[in-house]
Amino acid sequence: MITRSITQASSSSSGGDTATCCICLDKYCKRDTFKPEDCNDIVCQTCLATYLNTQLDIPQESYEHIACPQQSCTGTFSAIAIVPLVLTSPNSAHYWWRKVIENTVMDSIGYCPYPDCQASFELFPEGEDDEDDHHVYAKCFDCSRGICLRCETPWHSGITCKDNDEDNRGPSWKRPGGEKRRRRKERENSIQARQLAKRNSWTRCPFCKEMVEKKEGCSTVLCTCKKEFCYRCGSPSWNHQCSRSCHNLSQTELSNIRETMYQYEDIPVR
Identify the structural domains of the chain with CATH numbers, from first to last: 7-90 (3.30.40.10), 109-265 (no CATH)
pLDDT at residue number 213: 86
Query: Residue 84 in contact with residue 245, Cβ under 8 Å?
Result: yes
- For 242, the enclosing helix (H) or strand (E) is strand 241-242
Q: How many CB atoms lie within 10 A of CB 175?
A: 12
pLDDT at residue number 2: 28
Using CA atoms, how far apart are residues 78 and 56, in angstroms rounded to an integer?
15
Convert the pLDDT of each residue in 61-72 to its tens digit. 778 889 999 888
pLDDT at residue number 163: 67
The helix/strand/coil state of 246 is helix
Rounded to the nearest integer, the mean pLDDT of the chain is 73
Alpha carbon distances (Å) from 86 to 63, 89, 210: 16, 9, 31
Distance of CA 97 to the CA centre of its chain: 4
pLDDT at residue number 105: 62
Distance of CA 270 to the CA centre of its chain: 33
Which sign does the torsion angle of CA 75, 79, 84, 86 carry? positive
Count how many residues are written for the chain. Answer: 270
Instruction: Using the predicted structure, report yes or no on whether residue 184 has a pLDDT greater than 60.
Output: no
pLDDT at residue number 13: 37
Q: Which of 138, 134, 123, 107 is nearest to 178 (CA)?
A: 123
Percent of the chain with pLDDT over 90: 11
Provide mean pLDDT across the span 174-190.
Answer: 45
Convert the pLDDT of each residue in 27-68 to its tens digit. 999 888 998 988 889 999 999 999 999 888 877 777 888 999
Distance of CA 35 to the CA centre of its chain: 25
Using CA atoms, how far apart are residues 123 and 152, in angstroms rounded to an integer?
10
Choose between 260 and 71: higher pLDDT: 71
CB contact set of 198 (below 8 Å; sequence gap of 6+): 262
pLDDT tier at 122, thresholds 50, 70, 90: low
Q: Which class for 203: exposed (0-12), middle (13-18), buried (19 or more C-beta within 10 A)?
A: buried
pLDDT tier at 1, thresholds 50, 70, 90: very low
What predicted TM-score, i.e. pTM, was given to this entire model? Answer: 0.45
